[in-house]
């Protein structure tokens, strides 16, 4: 874990984040090892490690927000995807997540994850009009996730190992969902660097191609 965590570039002094990272990685590895086909197992192992690093990119972006808030206060947001991974793949994952991180953290993670499919929904604007905007921390995490996803998309479009039809499918998906998500959470009102990075995604993504 230490090698991958070090490679991720995440802070070393965030105990809870390191714990969530470690538990998610171990649970994911156990799931991968149960895949009988060797080729699929190797591919899944690579995908798991890349997922861990991709989520780290979003977390690091949260930690660069320039509003004077200490990193510790955004640690919970940075942990959300790792806790979800642990809860999904570990034996009795949800119950163990509660024991490891507490009800408040798990409730926050559940609320955050609820917004991911909602922002992609065709009726998302009407739904948000009824229930209101998510919390500031949730909006920050959603924006950071979209921004890091956009950077991943640009890398994938240049990757010769990814089939052309897969690139087209991903590009069409992101063009359809990312701008909507950023506008719905009013990303232009978020603190820097989320505001300028979100604006860049909205400006650049429509013209992005193979």
The whole-chain average pLDDT of the chain stands at: 92
Residue 92 has pLDDT above 90, yes or no: no
- List, for residues 9-35, the tens digit of each pLDDT value: 999 999 999 999 999 999 999 999 999
Rounded (10°) CA dihedral 159, 161, 166, 172: 0
CA distance 6 to 110: 27
- 57 and 64 in contact (C-beta within 8 Å)? no
Residue 89 has pLDDT above 80, yes or no: yes
- List, for residues 145-159, the tens digit of each pLDDT value: 999 999 999 999 999
Choose among 210, 193, 207, 109: nearest CA to 148: 193
């Amino acid at each position: 874990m230490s090698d991958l965590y070090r490679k991720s570039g995440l802070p070393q002094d965030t105990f809870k984040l390191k714990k969530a990272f470690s538990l998610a990685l171990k649970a994911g590895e156990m799931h991968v090892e149960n895949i009988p086909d060797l080729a699929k197992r190797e591919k899944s192992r690579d995908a798991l490690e890349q997922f861990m690093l991709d989520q780290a990119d979003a977390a690091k972006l949260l930690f660069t927000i320039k509003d004077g808030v200490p990193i510790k206060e955004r640690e919970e947001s940075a942990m959300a995807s790792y806790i979800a991974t642990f809860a999904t793949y570990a034996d009795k994952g949800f119950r163990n997540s509660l024991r490891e991180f507490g009800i408040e953290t798990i409730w926050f993670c559940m609320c955050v994850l609820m917004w991911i499919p909602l922002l992609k929904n065709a009726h998302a604007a009407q739904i948000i009009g009824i229930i209101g905007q998510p919390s500031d921390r949730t909006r920050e995490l959603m924006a950071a996730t979209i921004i890091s996803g956009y950077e991943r998309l640009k890398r994938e479009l240049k990757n010769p190992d990814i089939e052309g039809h897969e690139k087209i499918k991903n590009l069409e998906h992101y063009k359809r969902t990312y701008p909507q998500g950023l506008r719905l959470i009013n990303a232009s009102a978020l603190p820097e660097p989320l505001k300028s990075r979100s604006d860049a995604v909205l400006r650049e993504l429509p013209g992005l191609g193979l």
